[in-house]
Amino acid sequence: MKHTLSIIVLVLLLVGFAFPDSVIAGDHVTITILYDNTIFNKATTADWGFSCLIEGFDILANAAALGLSTKSANLVVVSHDHSDHTGGLSAALGSASTATAFICNSFSTLTERTIKLTGATVVRDSAPAHLLPGVQTTGEVSGAVNEQSLIISADSGLVVIMGCSHPGVTNILQRVQQLMNRKIYLVLGGFHWLDYTDLQVNGLIKEMKDMGIRKCGATHCTGDAAIALLRKAFGSDFVEMGVGRVITLSSSFVDVKQENRTHSITPQAYCLDQNYPNPFNPSTTIEYAIPLQSQVMVKIVDLLGREVATLVNQKKDAGTYSLQWDASTMPSGIYFCSLTAGPFQKTKRMILLK
């Protein structure tokens, strides 16, 4: 029997598979980010929060755009009792839910009542909850805001999915290690490092590395500056996030494959996305969308306004496009990518750090 599991940080939905052992085996698991501050798939929208579906879930427009349904979720884990993490529950579960939702003792009676109105069963407990073989919660971890996270066990290590990490990333990870006595392979979610200095972030990254964390994907309340430091520290083991990102985990977790869930939706508006990674060295990806056939120009200028590269200068059909800019011959500094397409003009700032 397959299970749909949701851990909610704004709504984090996880769809699992048939787990025959105490660890995930045989099948792979896919994690689809359904709600996040940034966009990976152009058919989706971004907003403050974080949610994902394992197999695969916005709440609801993003789910529909990605060809997913949240109504089949039968297990829901809510990370903590903040409105940007609980506000979409009613819409996500519908009015006739058969799900079981796991919340902590610190949650309000209003949140519990709201979940019950969908028809879902609520389990309120601060102890770790075993959801499926190989899948459990951390239980309630105390902090500025009490919070629980999700643990998925596999042959090569543990995968930990967090909401906002209000109790502290390393505190949560230490709880995981105490519970499981196993190494942690991958950490995903919000780290709540928005207001941290570079020195503080680098110190926490060192703690994570000392704990043996192999890969991480940080988003939501982590903050752009902290994400840039994580990206630099983890290199190719940093997992890029964003709405529509699909992370496929093999049964052995030797690789974390990242793919875009395919869709054939024509863009509804002109758009130039922020390049990623950013900061970058030496290359970066630039993506843009045009709703109509247009004459398109994409160029790069430096801080003094001097054009250093023209990436596109031709007529393009409606669609979503991805470009690579190799800046290996350019000095470190701030650059600007501009898109001109039909009546649309947009510029994004990029940082090259060598």
Give 309-352 pLDDT, tens digit per residue: 999 999 998 887 888 899 999 999 999 999 999 899 999 999 99
Query: Residue 279 domain-assigned?
Result: yes
% residues pLDDT > 90 (the chain)? 38
- Are 197 and 238 in the same domain? yes
Q: Indicate the residue among 228, 260, 292 that finishes a domain.
A: 260
Q: For 75-79, 279-283, 326-330, which range has the lowest pLDDT when averaged over its residues?
A: 75-79
- Which of 218, 234, 260 lies at the terminal end of a domain, its last residue? 260
In terms of domains, do 193 and 296 share one?
no
Looking at per-residue pLDDT, the higher value among 335 and 34 belongs to 335
Note the pLDDT of residue 295.
94
**Which of residues 147 and 20 earns the better pLDDT score?**
147
Work out how many domains the chain is built from and give that number. Answer: 2
The verdict on 160 and 129 lying in the same domain is: yes
The residue type of 349 is R
Average pLDDT over residues 284-302: 91
Answer yes or no: do 175 and 319 share one domain.
no
The predicted structure's pLDDT at residue 262: 42
305 and 342 housed in the same domain: yes
Expressed as residue numbers, the domain containing 216 is: 4-260
Domain co-membership, 183 together with 308: no
Q: Are 55 and 123 part of one and the same domain?
A: yes
Residue 265 falls inside a structural domain:
no
Do residues 280 and 300 share a domain? yes
Shared domain for 168 and 287, answered yes or no, is no
Angle at which helices 169-180 and 198-210 cross, to 10° = 10
Predicted confidence (pLDDT) at residue 264 exceeds the cutoff of 60: no
- Higher-pLDDT residue of 222 and 67 is 222
Residues 26 and 100 in one domain: yes
Which residue among 209, 233, 260 closes a domain? 260
**Are residues 285 and 345 located together in one domain of the fold?**
yes
Give which of 63, 72, 82 is closest to 10, Cα–Cα.
82
For the stretch 4-13, pLDDT in tens is 344 443 333 3
For residues 198-207, give the mean pLDDT.
95
Q: How would residue 1 be classed by pLDDT, with cut points 50, 70 and 90? A: very low
Distance of CA 190 to the CA centre of its chain: 8
In a domain, 266, yes or no: no
Does residue 179 share a domain with residue 120? yes
